[in-house]
Amino acid sequence: MAPFISLILFAIAAFQSVCVIAEDQTDCNPTNSTSCDPDAALGTEHTWWFNSTLDSELWDMQTGTLDYTSEGANFEIKKENGSTLLVSNFYIFFGVMEAHVKMAKGAGIISSVILQSDDLDEIDWEWVGYNTSAVQSDFFGKGNTTTSDRGGIHAVSNADTEFHNYTSYWDKDRLEWWIDGNLVRIVNYSEPLTVYGKNYPQTPCRVKVSNWPVGIKGQSIGNIEWGGGYVDWDDLPFIMTVQRIRVQDFHSGKEYEYTDKTGSYNSIKVIEGNSTAKAEINKKPKKTLSQKWDDLSAGAHIGVYCGAAAAGVIIFAVFGWWCRRQRQKGRLQRALDNGQNSAELKEMDLGKQWRSSQWGQKGSYQPVP
């Protein structure tokens, strides 16, 4: 297949991906507004292996890039103040998230895998880079950060060099954090820490995966202390690796809609249907360029051929001009090399004029009948 067809198909693909980005949800807090778009549901269960490119319809790399290796995707801080953030385009309304992760090591560096809703309910796994023998569990309700007494610290060996299974289980009655099959923490819906349910996470959440620096100027003293002090940028890069993530949605609908501003789970309406995420997961493998070409209509084929022909004519014309120019340059150089005087050079110039007029006439030349 000619390269220009690839180029045109590439342009179409690039345009499509721009459109997808444009469709992305804007920040809208449903406890503040009644006109937020419904959240796209996952509506099923799926495991994503991070050893090959993630489907950009389902995952949005909002900051930084992923570096794929055979064991997973590296979330890498490569330069001072750099960070990474991957966000799912789908939401779960209660469910399970199982992440197999190697944390990034280094004071002031935070690796995190969290569930977060549009009104800032949050369920967290966080690895604080100075301690590679621990992981922290945490949660937030409606972005309430008045106190910071909800975090838990759990021992885990070699969290930076070994993958472990960090699973959060979430339903309307309780939250559970599991490490390698061991239950390490439970939070009930109604207890003092959740302000008796009021700050219990209970609205549809997206998955967010990040490796970011908290130990930098501009962060609060509390945050910097929590992170173990300032980042030592001489230790770059800081790498967190994700092997796989399994996500299970406890509902099987299409979308989640906030019916009022309470942010209570009773206010969430599950819109029935098949989710687009489910369709995306179950769709046939991506087509190759030549398959895409075959799928285009005959009209599109003709269009592409015409475009290609026009491009060919232009390339041919430019090439022709370039050849002539090179030839003249060569003659000019030879003339200079031979020490020809300016008159001779002028003569060559005239010759050039003659040639171009001859060329010009050729175009309008008509054979005498």
User: Does residue 191 interact with ligand NAG by CB under 6 A?
Assistant: yes
Q: Work out which of 44, 74, 199, 276 binds ligand NAG, going by CB under 6 A.
A: 199
Task: Tell which residue, 164, 166, 160, 169, has the closest CA to residue 75.
Answer: 160
Are the C-beta atoms of residues 165 and 47 closer than 8 Å to each other? Answer: no
Backbone angle region of 108, left / alpha / beta, with phi > 0 → left and psi within -120 to 50 → alpha:
left
| String marking each residue 68-87 x if it binds ligand NAG according to CB under 6 A | --x---------xx------
Q: Per CB under 6 A, which region of 36-44, 54-62, 130-138, 263-271 contacts ligand NAG?
A: 130-138
* 147 in contact with ligand NAG (CB under 6 A): yes
When binding is defined by CB under 6 A, the residue of 4, 49, 250, 293 that contacts ligand NAG is 49
Which of the ranges 106-114, 184-192, 284-292, 319-327 carries the binding residues for ligand NAG, by CB under 6 A? 184-192
Site string for ligand NAG, 110-129 (x = CB under 6 A): --------------------
Does 218 bind ligand NAG (CB under 6 A)? Our answer is: yes
Task: Decide: is 137 part of the binding site for ligand NAG (CB under 6 A).
Answer: no
Q: Residue 86, Cβ neighbours under 10 Å: how many?
A: 23
Tell me the C-alpha distance between 368 and 171, whole Å: 91
- Tell the smallest beta-carbon distance from residue 8 to ligand NAG (Å): 29
**Is residue 361 part of the contact set for ligand NAG (CB under 6 A)?**
no
β-bridge mates for residue 185, sequence order: 177
Q: Distance between CA 181 and CA 156 in Å, rounded?
A: 12
> What residues pair up with 74 in beta bridges, in sequence order?
67, 241
Q: How far apart are CA 311 and CA 139, in angstroms?
A: 58
Give me the residue whose beta carbon is nearest to ligand NAG.
134
> In 50-181, which ranges are E strands?
59-63, 66-69, 72-77, 84-88, 95-102, 109-117, 122-128, 134-140, 152-155, 164-170, 174-179
Kindly state the smallest distance separating residue 52's Cβ from ligand NAG, in Å: 4
Which of the residues are catalytic? 122, 126
- DSSP per-residue letters across 338-353: TT--HHHHHHHHHHHH
Structure tokens at 291: 């398959």
Minimum distance from CB of 144 to ligand NAG (Å)?
4
What residues line the site for ligand NAG (CB under 6 A)? Answer: 29, 31-32, 49, 51-52, 70, 80-81, 98, 131, 133-134, 144, 146-147, 153, 155, 165, 167, 178, 181, 186, 188, 191, 195, 198-199, 216-218, 273-274
